[in-house]
Amino acid sequence: MKKYKLHATESQHHASTGKLYQSDPMRFSVLLACFLSISTTTLATWSIIIIDPVTKEIGIAGASCTYNCYGIGQIIPGKGAIIVQAMSNKDARRKGLEMIEAGASPEQIIAALRDPLFDPEKQQYAVVTLSHLDTPATYTGAATHTSHGILTAAGVSVQGNTLASEEELKAILDAVIQGQEDSLRIDEILMRALEAGSTAGGDKRCGEQRATSAFLMVAKPTDKRKPYLVLQFFGQKRGGLNAVSLLRGKYARWKSKHKSS
């Protein structure tokens, strides 16, 4: 069983250093332009970053009791991913993406994003990179919503705020680790991790509904213009169906069409 550690829920900085990666300016400019066109004022709740060290695939997923949480994170294929949630500052995400593309370590990225310019005390950051798999870096600002925290393992970061249960993050990470031990695909692991968060309570603002928006994204290292898998569900009314369950339906249909992938 892989070991994981709980990062305290107060304002803290956790990171490491490492070597640099070469960049692909054309691919990055396309990805950044697409990413910055997305509305990014989301107050997100629980999210996951996973990097598969064998396939080099990178995946992110998240769910929230807000209209749409899709814009909280982004992937640079073959390099890494960033999540910026809580008040979700778009300039912080832009800076993080630029630094991932340039080959900065997660520690360096988090240090840069703690600049007061990005209003870090209202943000929750997570960065995982392929060149620094063993040392994800995270930060939770002191002014984020209560019931917040972060858990990390090699190549994995799980973070949340406005959580309904103190056990939620552990349940999510346990689902990730179990999926890895069962040699599941990264997309299935992400889906199960979202479901684990939902089962453990989800977003406390949604009550029994758990979430009104959810997304899942996976990129292969060879992806150029966009990740090969992007699924989302948003705009669900309060009191309606759980967005995570609805996303599972979309994912099941996607898998049925891509059985040979």
What are the DSSP calls for 21-79, one per residue?
Answer: ----HHHHHHHHHHHHTS-------EEEEEE-TTT--EEEEEEESSS--GGGEEEETTT
- Which pLDDT score is estimated for 260? 65
**Residue-number span of the structural domain to which 230 is assigned:** 10-254
Q: How confident is the model at residue 18 (pLDDT cuts 50, 70, 90)?
A: very low
Task: Identify whether the C-beta of residue 151 lies closer than 8 Å to the C-beta of residue 5.
Answer: yes
Residue corresponding to tokens 């213009």: 225
- Domain assignment present for 260: no
- Domain assignment present for 151: yes
- Domain assignment present for 196: yes
- Which pLDDT score is estimated for 31? 45
For 130-226, where are the E strands, in sequence order? 137-140, 149-153, 156-160, 213-219
- Domain assignment present for 261: no
184, amino acid identity: L
Residue 117, domain CATH: 3.60.20.10
- Which pLDDT score is estimated for 86? 81
- Domain assignment present for 3: no
Stretch 208-224: mean pLDDT:
94
- Domain assignment present for 2: no
Q: What is the mean pLDDT of the chain?
A: 84
> How many domains does the chain contain in total?
1
Examine the pLDDT at 6 and tell me if it is beyond 60.
no
Lowest mean pLDDT among 10-24, 126-140, 177-191, 233-247: 10-24
Looking at per-residue confidence, does 241 or 40 come out higher?
241
Residue 169 CA to its chain's centroid (Å): 13
- Which pLDDT score is estimated for 236? 81
86: number of Cβ within 10 Å: 27
- Domain assignment present for 171: yes
Q: How confident is the model at residue 41 (pLDDT cuts 50, 70, 90)?
A: very low
Stretch 86-110: mean pLDDT:
94
- Which pLDDT score is estimated for 43? 58
Question: In degrees rounded to 5, what are phi and psi of residue 21?
Answer: -115, 150
Distance of alpha carbon 117 from alpha carbon 230, whole angstroms: 31
Q: How confident is the model at residue 19 (pLDDT cuts 50, 70, 90)?
A: very low
Question: In degrees rounded to 5, what are phi and psi of residue 187?
Answer: -70, -40
State pTM to two decimals.
0.84
- Which pLDDT score is estimated for 145? 72
Examine the pLDDT at 30 and tell me if it is beyond 60.
no
27: burial class by Cβ within 10 Å (0-12, 13-18, 19+)? middle
- Which pLDDT score is estimated for 14? 37
Q: How confident is the model at residue 97 (pLDDT cuts 50, 70, 90)?
A: very high
Question: What is the longest distance spanned by two Cα atoms in the chain?
Answer: 48
- Which pLDDT score is estimated for 16? 32
- Which pLDDT score is estimated for 144? 84
Dihedral (CA of 214, 44, 128, 198) sign:
negative
- Domain assignment present for 5: no
Dihedral (CA of 229, 130, 88, 117) sign:
negative
